[in-house]
Structure 1
Amino acid sequence: MHGHHFTVLSRNGVSAPYKDLRDTVLILADETVELAFVADNPGKWMIHCHMLSHQATGMMDWFEVA
Structure 2
Amino acid sequence: MRTMDQQDAWRNNLLQDVDLWISQKIQQKMAIKLKYTDRTYMILSIPSNASDNVYCILLAHNAINVDMAG
TM-score by length of 2: 0.24
Which structure dedicates a bigger proportion of its chain to helix?
2
Max Rg structure: 2
- Which structure has the higher relative contact order (CA within 8 Å, separation 6+)? 1
Which structure dedicates a bigger proportion of its chain to strand?
1
